């Protein structure tokens, strides 16, 4: 059977195994195919699909990229690459790939559904709805598409409501509610839309429906209470507040208007840790003309807790303008400015707060935070931070600065526990994870450094610099499989190119994954067909994988193609010896010697070959010739007088 027939049969077997959902076997067959032949580029496409089914997303991305390098105009390759990006949460890359799939002839409900989902995740809502509507037109009975469309419409309705398009929003929420997505969220949003239109009875009806879904939700109860007051039923409103344990303190019942209730609702939401609801409610009050310092401060602090420091600072500035004698507002502004990296402005705000009577401890706190970021030496910072932490235990900013000071003063052993504590706290930042890598390196604990790199990449997989460092550490530790996986996973995040592919080939080779290594070498060799190292790597891996005949054929063609290099012929001769083809081996060694007459190795190989064949005289002759080339030169050059 010819090689073409063999590989054709293998390709059919792989497709059959895929249809049987035996993806492990399909992957094995396809890996052999791409390692041994260039005649089936589609094998890369199906290898990617098998890898996807096995959950190997990094390998899948790499396989689809290899396929598209060979068939860039095939929409199927772009579609499956987009699907992989979508699974990885790389939504912009997914949307681009899906658009490329469509441009290259791919169509159908599945493509438009995935495109719509990707666009939705990219927050391009109108485009998402357009794509999902096309998908529904192509597959009107597919409930999965309909649900995706309803989700997109729901998000668009929320955006329309935020832009003041209350009537349109209420219609879209109505569609969502009537088509299988009834729940507390859609009902509460539609109630808000009705309320903005003055349709209070309908708003109240929706809120009560929302409360039926979430009876313990205090925010929904408070919204209903507000509407009961607004519709002339304060007794029911008061009963709801009492039932929820949230009576308005210090305000007589006859003075409870909508604004007072909304203000109390915002404060309750903030107290309960529902910062988004607190912000939404306080912004609604501000929009309706309530711009006093207390509601501005509530909006500022809600933004601060949500990590929106620029907006928090803007609200704090407006609050300060409304109440210029408040030290607390200026101190809140100071901490916001510190988070924004505006350290001089933060210092000034803290000083102003101190002059107005803010506690000196708060002033010292902000000054210390600023000192840590404006170049004060770590050894002078240490005692200040230690002292402050005694009065503010658990303060994440101080804990980070303390750990950083320990590290900078040469005590990584003390810094490490603090950074680990910070990592275990909620919302640890990127620098904490990076410092844990540096701490482990400083302590010479390579296994801990590898673990720290892995933890970092779990959270920040797109940092190519750290990924390369991680791969280097794994390779130095001879953890070849783990290094290969790290490289594969990096393909989706831009860790591509000949350098990464070479490292991957080395990892596969050292892990004795011969066929995967051969497929990498084959891809590299296509771009650099005269590269001796890649040719030899491919042929060694082919031989080790059991494809010696293929290895011999490739090496023979490659040696002739490269021409004036002796190494391919030397390797060919050795492989022919292992294949017991002594005559062809002798020819290869002679060719290597002819190309590199000063190299004793081909002569040594010939000597061993003839000795093994029992031709003693020829063995001795070649051994003597090799010895002469190996011996140091005995004649010295005369010195000039």
pLDDT tier for residue 577 given thresholds of 50, 70 and 90: very high
What the block records as the tokens of 414 is 């003390």
Residue 574 backbone dihedrals phi, psi, to 5 degrees: -65, -40
If we measure between CA atoms, which residue out of 514, 534, 487 comes closest to residue 35? 514
| pLDDT higher than 80, residue 244 | no
Residue 290: helix, strand or coil by DSSP? coil
Check residue 253 and give its pLDDT: 56
Q: 42, 10 in Cβ contact below 8 A?
A: no
Q: 52, 80 in Cβ contact below 8 A?
A: yes
Write out pLDDT tens, residues 269-278: 888 888 998 9
Residue 57: helix, strand or coil by DSSP? helix
Rg of the chain over CA atoms, in angstroms? 35
Check residue 248 and give its pLDDT: 62
Check residue 205 and give its pLDDT: 93
Check residue 181 and give its pLDDT: 86
Q: CA-CA distance, 78 to 97, in Å (whole number)?
A: 5
| pLDDT higher than 70, residue 218 | yes
If we measure between CA atoms, which residue out of 289, 294, 256 comes closest to residue 278? 294
Residue 341 backbone dihedrals phi, psi, to 5 degrees: 80, 15
| pLDDT higher than 60, residue 252 | no
- 534 CB-side CA count, 13 A: 20
What the block records as the tokens of 568 is 């391919």
Q: 234, 253 in Cβ contact below 8 A?
A: yes
Q: CA-CA distance, 490 to 457, in Å (whole number)?
A: 10
Q: Percent of the chain at pLDDT above 70?
A: 96
If we measure between CA atoms, which residue out of 65, 39, 49, 58 comes closest to residue 15? 49
| pLDDT higher than 80, residue 251 | no
Burial label, 306 (beta-carbon count in 10 A; 0-12, 13-18, 19+): middle
| pLDDT higher than 50, residue 637 | no
Alpha helices, H only, 340-479: 343-355, 360-373, 378-391, 396-408, 412-424, 430-442, 446-459, 464-476
Burial annotation 397-414 (CB, 10 A radius, 16+ → b, else e): bbbbbbbbbbbeeebbee
pLDDT tier for residue 632 given thresholds of 50, 70 and 90: low
Please tell me the least confidently modeled range out of 151-160, 369-378, 462-471.
151-160
Residue 600: helix, strand or coil by DSSP? coil
Q: 114, 131 in Cβ contact below 8 A?
A: no
**Nearest-5° angle of CA 275, CA 342, CA 297?**
30
Q: CA-CA distance, 16 to 53, in Å (whole number)?
A: 15
| pLDDT higher than 90, residue 456 | yes
Q: CA-CA distance, 336 to 389, in Å (whole number)?
A: 20
The size of the chain, in residues, is 641
How high does pLDDT run on average in the chain?
Answer: 91
| pLDDT higher than 60, residue 598 | yes
Sequence-distant (6+) residues with CB within 8 A of 513 are 481, 484
Of 427 and 312, more confident: 312
Check residue 638 and give its pLDDT: 41
CA distances from 283 to 164, 268, 291, 454 (A): 13, 15, 9, 41
The model's pTM is 0.82
Check residue 640 and give its pLDDT: 41
First-to-last alpha carbon distance for the chain, in angstroms, is 74
Write out pLDDT tens, residues 423-452: 998 778 899 999 999 999 999 999 999 999
Check residue 275 and give its pLDDT: 92
- 487-503: average pLDDT: 90
Mapped to the 3 state alphabet, what secondary structure does 161-205 carry? HHCCCHHHHHHHHHHHHHCCCCCHHHHHHHHHHHHHCCCHHHHHH
If we measure between CA atoms, which residue out of 531, 579, 596 comes closest to residue 558? 531
| pLDDT higher than 80, residue 619 | yes
Check residue 353 and give its pLDDT: 96
| pLDDT higher than 90, residue 319 | yes
What the block records as the tokens of 357 is 């009577």
CA 505 to chain centre: 23
Sequence-distant (6+) residues with CB within 8 A of 503 are 471, 475, 483, 487
**Within a 10 A sphere around the Cβ of 155, how many other Cβ atoms?**
17
pLDDT tier for residue 312 given thresholds of 50, 70 and 90: very high
| pLDDT higher than 90, residue 242 | no
Residue 343 Rama label (left phi>0; alpha psi -120 to 50; beta): alpha
| pLDDT higher than 80, residue 595 | yes
| pLDDT higher than 80, residue 503 | yes
Please tell me the least confidently modeled range out of 117-126, 320-329, 394-403, 538-547.
117-126
If we measure between CA atoms, which residue out of 493, 520, 492, 496 comes closest to residue 506? 520
Check residue 15 and give its pLDDT: 95
- 559-581: average pLDDT: 93
| pLDDT higher than 50, residue 636 | no
The DSSP code for 596 is -
Write out pLDDT tens, residues 359-384: 999 999 999 999 999 989 999 999 99
- 131-143: average pLDDT: 90
| pLDDT higher than 90, residue 187 | yes
Write out pLDDT tens, residues 328-352: 999 999 999 999 999 999 999 999 9
Check residue 496 and give its pLDDT: 81
Check residue 144 and give its pLDDT: 86
Residue 606: helix, strand or coil by DSSP? helix
Count of H-run helices and E-run strands, the chain: 36, 0
Check residue 241 and give its pLDDT: 77
Instruction: State whether the Cα torsion 449-452-456-458 is positive or negative.
Output: positive
Residue 357 Rama label (left phi>0; alpha psi -120 to 50; beta): left
Q: CA-CA distance, 107 to 386, in Å (whole number)?
A: 63
Write out pLDDT tens, residues 513-554: 999 999 999 999 999 999 999 999 999 999 999 999 999 999
Alpha helices, H only, 231-308: 234-243, 258-271, 275-287, 293-305
Check residue 320 and give its pLDDT: 95
Question: For tokens 């404060």, what's the residue?
Answer: 267
pLDDT tier for residue 298 given thresholds of 50, 70 and 90: very high
Please tell me the least confidently modeled range out of 14-18, 241-245, 278-282, 527-531.
241-245
Q: CA-CA distance, 444 to 452, in Å (whole number)?
A: 13
Write out pLDDT tens, residues 16-49: 999 999 999 999 999 999 999 988 999 999 999 9
What the block records as the tokens of 314 is 């803007």
């Amino acid at each position: 059977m010819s090689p073409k027939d063999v590989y054709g049969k293998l390709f059919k077997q792989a497709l059959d195994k895929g249809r049987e959902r035996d993806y492990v076997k399909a992957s094995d067959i396809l890996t052999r195919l791409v390692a041994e032949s260039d005649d089936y580029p589609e094998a890369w496409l199906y290898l990617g699909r098998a890898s996807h089914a096995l959950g190997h997303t990094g390998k899948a991305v790499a396989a689809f990229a290899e396929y598209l390098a060979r068939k860039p105009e095939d929409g199927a390759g772009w579609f499956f690459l987009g699907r992989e990006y979508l699974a990885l949460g790389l939504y912009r890359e997914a949307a681009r790939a899906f658009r490329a799939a469509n441009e290259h002839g791919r169509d159908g409900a599945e493509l438009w559904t995935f495109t719509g989902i990707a666009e939705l995740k990219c927050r391009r809502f109108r485009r998402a709805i357009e794509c999902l509507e096309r998908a529904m037109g192509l597959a009107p009975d597919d409930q999965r598409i309909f649900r995706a469309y309803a989700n997109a419409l729901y998000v668009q309705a929320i955006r329309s409501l935020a832009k003041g398009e209350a009537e349109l929003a209420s219609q879209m929420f109505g569609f969502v509610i009537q088509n299988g997505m009834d729940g507390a969220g859609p009902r509460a949003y539609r109630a808000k839309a009705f309320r903005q239109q003055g349709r209070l009875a309908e708003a109240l009806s929706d809120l009560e429906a929302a409360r039926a879904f979430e009876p313990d939700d205090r925010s929904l109860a408070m919204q209903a209470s507000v509407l009961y007051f607004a519709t002339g039923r304060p007794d029911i409103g008061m009963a709801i507040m009492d039932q929820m344990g949230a009576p308005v303190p210090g305000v007589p019942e006859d003075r409870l208007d909508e604004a007072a209730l909304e203000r109390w609702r915002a404060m309750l939401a903030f107290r309960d840790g529902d910062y988004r609801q607190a912000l939404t409610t306080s912004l609604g009050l501000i929009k309706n003309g309530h711009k006093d310092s207390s509601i501005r401060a509530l909006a500022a602090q809600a933004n601060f807790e949500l990590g929106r420091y620029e907006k928090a600072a803007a609200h704090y500035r407006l609050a300060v303008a409304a109440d210029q004698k408040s030290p607390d507002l200026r101190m809140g502004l100071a901490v916001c400015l510190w988070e924004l990296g505006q350290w001089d402005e933060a210092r000034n705000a803290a000083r102003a707060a101190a002059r107005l009577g803010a506690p000196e401890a708060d002033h010292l706190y902000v000054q210390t935070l600023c000192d840590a970021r404006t170049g004060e030496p770590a050894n002078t910072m240490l005692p200040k931070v230690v002292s402050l932490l005694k009065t503010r235990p658990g303060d994440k900013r101080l804990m980070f600065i303390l750990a950083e000071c320990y590290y900078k003063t040469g005590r990584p052993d003390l810094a490490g526990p603090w950074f680990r504590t910070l990592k275990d706290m909620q919302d640890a930042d990127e620098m904490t994870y990076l410092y844990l890598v540096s701490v482990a390196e400083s302590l010479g604990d390579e296994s801990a450094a590898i673990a720290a790199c892995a933890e970092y990449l779990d959270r920040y997989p797109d940092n190519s610099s750290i990924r390369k460092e991680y791969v280097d550490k794994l390779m130095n530790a001879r953890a070849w499989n783990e290094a290969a996986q790290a490289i594969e996973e990096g393909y989706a995040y831009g860790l591509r190119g000949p350098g990464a592919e070479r490292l991957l080939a080395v990892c596969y080779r050292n892990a004795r994954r011969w066929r995967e290594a051969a497929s990498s070498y084959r891809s590299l060799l296509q771009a650099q067909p005269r590269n001796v190292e890649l040719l030899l790597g491919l042929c060694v891996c082919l031989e080790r994988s059991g494809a010696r005949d293929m290895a011999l054929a490739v090496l023979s063609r490659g040696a002739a193609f490269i021409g004036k290099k002796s190494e391919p012929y030397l390797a060919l001769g050795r492989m022919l010896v292992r294949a017991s083809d002594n005559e062809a081996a002798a020819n290869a060694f002679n060719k290597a010697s002819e190309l590199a007459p000063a190299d004793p190795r081909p002569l040594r190989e010939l000597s061993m070959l003839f000795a093994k064949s029992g031709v003693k005289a020829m063995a001795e002759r070649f051994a003597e010739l090799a010895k002469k080339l190996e011996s140091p030169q005995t004649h010295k050059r005369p010195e000039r007088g």
